[in-house]
Amino acid sequence: MTILLTTSDVATIVALQGPRKVCTDLLDYVLADFLRWQEFDKCARVASHSATGVIELMPAADNELYSFKFVNGHPDNPQAGLSTVMAFGALAQVSTGEPLLISELTLTTALRTAVTSALAARALARPGSRSMALIGNGAQAEFQALAFHYILGIDTLHVYDVDAGATRKLEHNLASVPGLRIVRFDGVASAVKGVDIVTTVTADKAYATILTGDMIEPGMHINALGGDCPGKTELHADVLRAGSVFVEYEPQTRIEGDLQQMPADFPVTELWRVLTGQAGGRRSAGEVTIFDSVGFALEDFSALRWLRDSAARHGIGARIEVAPALQDPKGLFNVVRTARTGQPALVQR
């Protein structure tokens, strides 16, 4: 039997553990897999683009487990009462192909994206960073804020969104977080002035320039998330030229990230090499570092492992029949034949 986790199930796991423990535990799973990067079968995600958005399939596997995520990105969905991003995924046994877990990944994607951002910033931002500007206050914003607060100790958050309602929503949701001060701004330039870290997480599928070169100050760490498909950017090219650029999986980021604006030989460093000590990260307090993050399937692999273990620990999830457990493994037709007679064709597990 396969374990099924709904959005309510995942929300219950988060509620039982609390946001701080979720952030730190999930980060440990993501870090552990980045540290064994070369053990994975990896590829850029398979994307189907349309005029209104994109649908993507994101697979990853090691010698034991295979995972995939189905995810969309449709910026106009909120006008129809739908989430911009919706996702689900699965974890399977490599040795047999048996599906072990099927789970929602909309909420989980926001969680894993946030902890990956914090993991990169922990390696790349100035030590002692305490302030962050959060540009784009939509569905993922609270998760980014909490991950940076709990993992890096960010205590001052500058917030801005073209949608004032989104900012009010963010302020309301984070108002009770101890030790986190939220300051609202009326523009990007004023919000990013003087902060240690800038996180951009906007949704428009457009060549946008949310950050321009004149906004960048020495020592800043830029955590750019919204430029995550062809034809969609957040950073002016001058921002990328202003510092050292780090990515998850270079072949994918070259196509989808803000990096798509740059020539093929523009230098970047994959994050796993910094985390394993094979490449340097920040070289000085005044250096600008940029994490051009588009989201990579390995992060979903890590998140699905965390969900599997958390669900087992808390006894959460329904057991469902996805693949038949046949009395005769070659007798698949018996499932149809015996459905009419009431005779069992399946093994009860």
Question: Nearest Cα to 107, choosing from 146, 139, 147?
Answer: 139
Instruction: Tell me whether residue 309 is one of the annotated catalytic residues.
Output: no
Spatial distance between the Cα atoms of 157 and 148, rounded to a whole number of angstroms: 10
Query: What residues have CB less than 8 Å from 216, skipping those under 6 apart?
Result: 222, 239, 242, 243, 288
CA 294-222-236 angle, to 5 degrees, is 80
Residue in 228, 258, 292, 300 annotated catalytic: 228
Catalytic residue numbers read 228
